[in-house]
Amino acid sequence: MASGQQPIFIGKTNGITGKMKTHSSWKIGKNVTIGEKSLRKIGEKEVKIGKNAIFLGNSTVYEGVTAGEGMIMGHNAIIREENAIGKNFKLWNNSVIDYGCRIGNNVKVHCNCYIAQGTVIEDGVFIGPGTVTTNDKYPGSRLSKPEEAQKDGPRIKTRAQIGANVTILPGVTIGERALVGSGSVVTKDIPKETVAIGNPARPVCSIYDLKNRHGKPVYEKHKSDKSK
């Protein structure tokens, strides 16, 4: 059963079910469901979401989700079961986080994205609209079946930036502060602080080579990077 302080309901017809602690700082829109039961046989799992969360209309959080304070879910967004999420997570409209992902602090996933099971997203990552991650190297084979599954979601490392409509294949690692151009298909690892574009995505330069229209660098090294 839900316990804790009464959230602020900004809509009607809401479903808060299962084990969780609610907060008075939550703002919950119309037709929101928190604690949705999984069709997978995982047993009853508690929902643990921090303070100051906002759930816009028709968003759904499944059981077994943990998330830090400051989470915002857009309209029709879904977070499946058994996801572990850090602080200040932003999930915009019509995006889905499938089960068993690990997401760090200050991550933003834009509209119409699909994040596959087992994906790891580290702190400060931005994922542009329409991006898809994948985790099945052999779709349709026996290795895709639940009893023999060998799923391998990608890892997107700290402060990497992913453009719109990018597809990221299973098992790929995108390095720290890497920049992946819109429409790219990432089939291999991308080194840190690298710009990668195309299908398949290929490194073209360092992020520090990029300049704005005034000829000034777009990215500057952080203090912790300048000694390298």
Domain ranges of the chain: 1-100, 121-222
* 3-state SS assignment for residue 207: helix
Percent of the chain with pLDDT over 70: 85
CB 90 within 8 A of CB 63: no
Q: Regarding beta strands 202-206 and 194-197, do their DSSP bridges make them parallel or antiparallel, or are they unpaired?
A: antiparallel
The domains spanning 1-100 and 121-222 adopt the same CATH topology:
yes
Does the pLDDT value for residue 8 go beyond 70? no
Say if domain 121-222 classifies as CATH 3.40.50.300.
no
- The pTM of the whole model exceeds 0.95: no
Q: Give pLDDT, residue 159.
A: 97
CATH of segment(s) 1-100: 2.160.10.10
Residue 175: pLDDT band with limits 50, 70, 90: very high
